[in-house]
Structure 1
Amino acid sequence: MAAIVASALFMQNLDSTVVATALPAMARSLGEDPLVMGVAITSYLVALTVFIPLSGWVADRFGAKQVFMAAIATFTLASVFCGLSGGLAELVAARVLQGLGGAMMVPVGRLLLLRRIRKEELLSVTTWLTMPGLLGPLLGPPVGGLLTDLISWRAVFWINLPVGILGLLLVWRIIPALPASLPPPPDLRGLTLVGAALACLMFAFETLGRGLVPGGVAEAMLVLGLVLAVVAVRHCLRAANPALDFSLMAIPSFRVPNVAGVLFRIGAGAVPFLVPLTLQLGFGASAAESGMISFATALGAFAMKPMAKFALGSFGFRNVLVWNAVLASGAIAACATFRPGWPTAAVFVVLLLGGLFRSLHFTTLNTLAYADVPQEKLSAATSLYSTAQQLPQAIGVAVASAVLQTSVALGGREAAAMPDFTAGFLVGALLTLSAAPLAARLPKNVGEGIVRGRR
């Protein structure tokens, strides 16, 4: 069951990044400016983030298995529409529909598993579910480039068709259904406020400093998004059945993975953006060479899987979150020392260790977040936690992009050079490290029952 859900999540995570490499070819085919084509990525990410808060209520109302299958079908069908698009407007509309399907796949797929497993199985299941989030951003660029060069940019979307059909069949055949319920009416005002805030923030983070929109638009959307976010949080704290249930933040084992996890994910989210640029622009590597070297991070993530239970059983959740944040920060800081004279093997090892540390951290955060959440609150918890997972990815890229541009301007350079990438990695390392003090506030024995199998 975990492998099936993880496969669907991998499809969604891969699609978040696979399009980037194909943008120039898409622009030529559709007769658009390559910079304008960035809206094909932004529209998907905005829709993905906006619809996540609604996923918990929909799963409760119509049944998690039924919603999960509908989400896979929607995502797959939208992928076909993307590949058939004859213009930018059609592509954007199909990408929004794709984002709707992806928004339901992520939290609802996780919910299907959380309601079926015992507490002592939580770590093993979470390890499977963590892999897609790490592999998607890494495999997206090389897969997108390969499909575009060998077939067409349209194949970037059509590849989802066989995966989606197989996923639907496996979910229908293997995963048991959960009964639907009659939850209270949805918080329409809260959903509107949350959706508008997330849409503005995602749009701002995806366009800030990239010249994709007229000057001042991204900054205005950022301010508007922050104001709407404050209003949305105030509303959700007062509403009887809020769109996002912030009362869950009273649970320490849920609060820390959300707050510390946001900081960690912002810092870690800059890495998949910075590494390919460093290798291609700084080292002069080709896209294919860059992809092969970057794949070390994926190998590190796989190497973590058998180590997670040992690490958590030996040192405990709190110690792993504190000291692994330090190690992960050190691995990102080590990337700041990359120079063209470095042996490829040395770069590979640093990236492999970084992938291992980040994978262990994500697995620990994702496992602990649901350790003490009551069954009746799982839908609300998956909606809130999935939102807190999605937004930092865009923020990490925006922060890294802003640091690069600022460093280039301060250095009086026309294009990014190695000192600029160094600055980007150091800022990412500091953000990742800032998660350690927050994790230190957890109780010493937090999550003990998960590793030792006690209820």
Structure 2
Amino acid sequence: MRSTTSAGTSSFSRSLALLVAGTYFMEILDGTIIATAAPGIAADLQVRPVDINLAMTSYLITLAVGIPISGWLAERFGARRVFTAAIAIFTIASLLCALSPNLTFLCIARMLQGLGGAMMVPVGRLVVLRDADRKEFLEAIAYLTWPALIAPVLAPVLGGLLVTYASWHWIFLINVPLGIIAFIVATRVVPDIRARKVPPPDWFGFVLCGVALAALVIGMELIGSAPTPWLAVVLWLVLAALGTVAALVWFKRSRHPLLDLRALRIHTFLVGNAGGALYRLIINAVPFLLPLMFMIGFGWSAFEAGLMTMAVFAGNVLIKPATSPLIRRFGFRRVLLLSNAGGALVLVACAFLNPDTPLIIIAAVLFVSGVLRSIGFSAYNTLQFVDVPKARMAGANTLSSTIAQIATGLGIAVGALILRAAQALLEGTPDAAPVASYQWTFAVLGVLMLYPVIEALRMHRTAGDLVR
């Protein structure tokens, strides 16, 4: 079923948008849910719980490295073929993860999962956006945004339930029936879009980009380990920086670059991927920090912490139907100012929470956080594409997906880094209570949120009005 514009022409397919959103949910969930199951997996595979971090890192690295080539694959082989192949790879890899007899097998299966995820979501989003009329962008993006809001919040709760009442294998087995359904639906609703003339693949750019992204993910993941191997962190991050500079130089000079940087000349795309990247980084650090603060700082159980975190989920879901009307009524600039400034205040409010704070106050703060998070994600995800010409949509989508994956992956690492720094500074002082380091971390994140606020202030008042 397709919606129609006022002129009666076909616009985006809601069934296709829901399908892509469902696969996006699976991808994000699998990137975060394994953390909850780490102790159970470690015991079964006879390794240390900290070693399970390899399975998480291998997934994130493959996901980050594979995304840049997804756009070219869709252009060359057709969106339907690539998207259905990605679902099949992801589903088979999920089954292999559940059947893993040892950690090495699990890591290889997770890399295969990352490969499927890298092609699955960017290609699916490209098809939806190409099919959508400008006036339908807000509605289309609303369908595609909810997984990024819900999955990180649900992952700890769902993972805990599956591990507690079933086994860790079910965090992967649950993908099998979902993947089969998605595959069948995809063969029917995904159009076979492909380019008439496809340039040769930029393999050199792919290698440079892959080295830079892999080094960045590994370096930031090592920051979260205990104890942190700082020498290795510095070496990996230096390699990431060198790889990034080399890749950017190559992309500017190449006739057919892997990542088309020209989209960054479009102001709304730049805002959506500069301030939007920092926004995503900060927002994705919060679901990681909140349960830890409740468990370690407040002394709550894992169930109590997960239950309270669901207040964020409630805010996300309840405001979602109103996000598009809000943007249409007030415009992108005002909405981003509201969500970013409000988000900064909420983070500062989190810095004042303590074990004696009434539960109703904590729940209210988290609920408001979820509301603002939903509004901000919807605004940024739509704004970045409103002025992108159809001819450049494939390149812009690939570049945006890469930036978003980097920002999302860095969220937990940056949150862990700030937390470690706060713990080190407070050690041995009168303020060294377990909750204090988390309070300072939220305060720092609140300050960082000021950059997206400033960037929103600099936007033109009519920015994005084309889709309102």
- Deviation string 1:337-364 (CA, Å, 9 cap, x unpaired) is 1111112221111111111111111111
The amino acid across from 2:22 in the alignment is S
- Residue 311 in structure 1 maps to residue 326 in structure 2: yes
Q: CA deviation at 1:122?
A: 0.7
Which of 413, 424, 446 is the matching residue for 1:409? 424
Match for residue 397 of structure 1? Answer: 412
Whole-angstrom distance in 2 between the partners of 1:226 and 1:4? 36
Q: Any unmatched runs of 5+ in structure 1?
A: none
Match for residue 69 of structure 2? Answer: 54
Q: CA deviation at 1:413?
A: 5.5
Match for residue 68 of structure 1? Answer: 83
Whole-angstrom distance in 1 between the partners of 2:467 and 2:433? 46
Whole-angstrom distance in 2 between the partners of 1:311 and 1:397? 30
Q: CA deviation at 1:81?
A: 0.6
- Paired residue secondary structure (2:368): helix
Q: Given that residues 265 and 432 in structure 1 are in contact (C-alpha distance below 8 angstroms), is that contact kept between their aligned partners in structure 2?
A: no
- Residue 250 in structure 1 maps to residue 291 in structure 2: no
- Paired residue secondary structure (2:68): helix
Match for residue 187 of structure 1? Answer: 202
Which of 367, 374, 382 is the matching residue for 1:352? 367
- Residue 42 in structure 1 maps to residue 64 in structure 2: no
Q: CA deviation at 1:14?
A: 0.6
The amino acid across from 1:354 in the alignment is S
Q: CA deviation at 1:54?
A: 0.4
Q: CA deviation at 1:314?
A: 2.2
Which of 434, 457, 467 is the matching residue for 1:440? 457
Which moves more between the two structures, 288-297 or 75-84? 288-297
Q: CA deviation at 1:214?
A: 4.8
Report % sequence identity.
Answer: 40
- Paired residue secondary structure (1:216): helix
Kindly report the root-mean-square deviation, in angstroms, between the aligned alpha carbons of the 2 structures: 1.6
Q: CA deviation at 1:287?
A: 1.2
Q: Residues 144 and 219 (structure 1 numbering): CA distance in 2 closer, same or farther, change over 3 Å?
A: same
- Deviation string 1:185-219 (CA, Å, 9 cap, x unpaired) is 01111111011100000111111151377552122
Match for residue 422 of structure 1? Answer: 439
- Deviation string 1:355-388 (CA, Å, 9 cap, x unpaired) is 1111111111111111111112111111100111
- Paired residue secondary structure (2:458): coil
The amino acid across from 1:202 in the alignment is V
Match for residue 187 of structure 2? Answer: 172
Q: Any unmatched runs of 5+ in structure 2?
A: 1-15
Whole-angstrom distance in 1 between the partners of 2:93 and 2:313? 28
Which of 323, 341, 349 is the matching residue for 1:334? 349
Whole-angstrom distance in 2 between the partners of 1:211 and 1:292? 27
Whole-angstrom distance in 1 between the partners of 2:95 and 2:227? 26
Whole-angstrom distance in 1 between the partners of 2:458 and 2:424? 39
Whole-angstrom distance in 2 between the partners of 1:304 and 1:189? 44
Normalised by the size of structure 1, how large is the TM-score? Answer: 0.96
Which moves more between the two structures, 63-72 or 91-100? 63-72
The amino acid across from 1:42 in the alignment is T
Q: Residues 311 and 418 (structure 1 numbering): CA distance in 2 closer, same or farther, change over 3 Å?
A: same
Whole-angstrom distance in 2 between the partners of 1:79 and 1:273? 24
Q: Residues 88 and 213 (structure 1 numbering): CA distance in 2 closer, same or farther, change over 3 Å?
A: farther
Q: Given that residues 75 and 193 in structure 2 are in contact (C-alpha distance below 8 angstroms), is that contact kept between their aligned partners in structure 1?
A: no
The amino acid across from 2:131 in the alignment is R
Whole-angstrom distance in 2 between the partners of 1:281 and 1:212? 18
- Paired residue secondary structure (2:225): coil
Q: Given that residues 268 and 428 in structure 1 are in contact (C-alpha distance below 8 angstroms), is that contact kept between their aligned partners in structure 2?
A: no
Normalised by the size of structure 2, how large is the TM-score? Answer: 0.93
Match for residue 6 of structure 2? Answer: none
